[in-house]
Amino acid sequence: MRKRIGILGGISHESTIKHYELILKKYFEQFQNYYYPEVVIFSLDFQKFTDYEDNRDTPAYINYIMQGINSLERAGVDFIVMSANSPHAVFPEVQKAAKVPMLSIAETTAEHARQQGLKKLLLLGIKFTMQSTFYQSVCSTKGIEVVTPSEAEQDEINHIIFDELCVGDFRDTSKSRLLSIIENYDIDGAILGCTELPLILSQGDSSKPLLDTLDFFAQATLEYALHENTTE
C-alpha cells in the first residue's frame, strides 16, 4: 500500500515547489503513468520561521515546526519530510514528537556521499545551517568530515540565498561566486545544504561533486512512499 506524503514547506516556497515537482517527475520517469502518490503540503510562514532561527529561539522554533507537523498528521499523511535543510538542526527532537515517521535530509545526503567514497565535504547553506552541527554529526558516523566556509563567505552565501534565490532571482554573478568559494577549498565535494542552492548550481558546474540535497531527498521521499528502498 502506498503512503501519503506530507511535506512541511514554505521554507522557502521556491524549494518546496521544486521538491514537489521532482517527486512527481521522478515518478513519471520511472513508471510512465499518472498514478502519482498523494501529497499534502503545509506551508509555514517563512519570515516567522526565519526569525526563530535568527534569534536562536529553539523552543519556539521546535514548537512552530510541530504546529505544521501536527497539521499534516491531521490531514492523514503517513510520513513527513521537511522541505528544507535548516529545520533538520532539530530533527531528533521533532522526530521524537511526531506521530508518523519522518525522513532526514542529512542522513540521505550523507549516505550518497558515502556511496561516492567522499571523505571531506564543504557545507554551503544559510548561515544558520552552516553554523549548526547536524551535518557534521550525521556525516561523522559514515567517516566523512564536514567543513564550512569562512565567516565572510557565510555572509555572502546567506545573502545570495535569502535576497535572491528565495524570491526566484538567479544571477550569473552569484553562481560564479558560489563556484569560486567551492573551488578554493581542498575538499572532495560540496553539500548544497540549502534546498534553494540546486536552483542555481548543477552537477557539472564545478570540477568537484556537488551533492544536490533536494534531488536526493525527492528520490528518498518517492521511494519511501512507494515502499521501495527507504531511508529509515
pLDDT at 1: 84
pLDDT at 12: 92
Domain of 73, in residue numbers: 5-104+215-225
Is the pLDDT at 96 greater than 80, yes or no?
Answer: yes
Indicate the pLDDT class of residue 231, thresholds 50, 70 and 90: very low
Whether the CB-CB separation of 36 and 48 falls below 8 Å is answered with no
Query: Would you say residue 231 lies in a domain?
Result: no
Contacts of 169 (CB under 8 A, 6+ apart): 163
Q: Which of 140, 46, 141, 126 is nearest to 89 (CA)?
A: 126
The answer, yes or no, to whether the previous bond of 12 is cis (omega within 30 of 0) is yes
Distance of CA 224 to the CA centre of its chain: 16
Q: Which of 226, 228, 169, 199 is nearest to 39 (CA)?
A: 226
Within this chain, do residues 83 and 181 fall inside the same structural domain, yes or no?
A: no
CATH code for position 112: 3.40.50.1860
- Half-sphere exposure (Cβ direction) of 23: Cα atoms closer than 13 Å: 27
